[in-house]
């Protein structure tokens, strides 16, 4: 049952573009995950978009609809299981180990992630068209290592 606590299923990085590939762990700082890069900095990256997060339950639901989406294919850095994704909205603060993560906004779908959708319509994860199905961007306060299996807790609102 979704709640205010969850678990990181996987951590993903790429030098730029998608898919982001799984790594067992990565160092995180206000600049994002070590080893992760973005191609279009006007849309991705920077302090308010240091991380992109998505729900494993949402990915599984999309797979059951017939979409070939998988963790990392839509550019997310952290895939989380167990959190009530409806609570993961701008202003929400999450805690992963000693790192605080503040949700800053919704990640708009782009053409690069179209192959993750059976009909190539990436708007299936648009917050405007399908509220609650979007990936989210986050700012990072602190530094540390994040790895698959780490707990994630909703720590309130900023």
Each residue of 126-147: pLDDT tens digit? 999 999 999 999 999 999 999 9
* CB of 150 closer than 8 Å to CB of 97: yes
pLDDT at 1: 44
DSSP 1-62: --BSEEEEEEEEE-SSSSPPEEESEEEEETTEETT---S-TTTS-SGGGSEEEEEHHHHHHH
pLDDT at 46: 67
pLDDT tens, 54-78?
Answer: 999 999 999 999 999 999 999 999 9
The topology under which CATH files domain 5-157 is M1 Pyruvate Kinase; Domain 3 (2.40.33)
The structural domains of the chain, with segments of one domain joined by +, span 5-157
Q: Kindly list the distances between the CA atom of residue 39 and the CA atoms of 2, 14, 45, in Å, as whole numbers in the listed order.
A: 33, 10, 9
Instruction: Using 50 as the pLDDT threshold, list the residues of the chain that sit under it.
Output: 1, 41
The pLDDT mean for the chain works out to: 92
pLDDT at 77: 97
């Amino acid at each position: 049952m979704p709640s205010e606590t969850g678990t990181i299923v996987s951590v993903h990085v790429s030098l730029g573009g998608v898919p982001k590939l799984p790594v067992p762990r990565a160092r995180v700082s206000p600049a994002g995950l070590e080893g992760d890069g973005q191609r279009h900095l006007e849309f991705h990256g920077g302090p308010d978009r240091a991380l992109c997060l998505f729900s494993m339950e949402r990915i599984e639901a999309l797979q059951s609809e017939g979409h070939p989406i998988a963790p990392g294919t839509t550019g997310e850095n952290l895939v989380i299981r167990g959190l009530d994704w409806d609570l993961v909205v701008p202003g929400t603060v999450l805690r992963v180990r000693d790192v605080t993560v503040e949700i800053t906004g919704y990640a708009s779908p782009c053409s690069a992630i179209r192959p993750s959708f059976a009909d190539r319509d990436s708007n299936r994860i648009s917050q405007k068209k399908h509220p609650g199905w979007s990936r989210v961007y986050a700012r990072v306060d602190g530094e540390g290592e994040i790895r698959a299996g780490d707990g994630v807790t909703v720590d309130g609102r900023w």
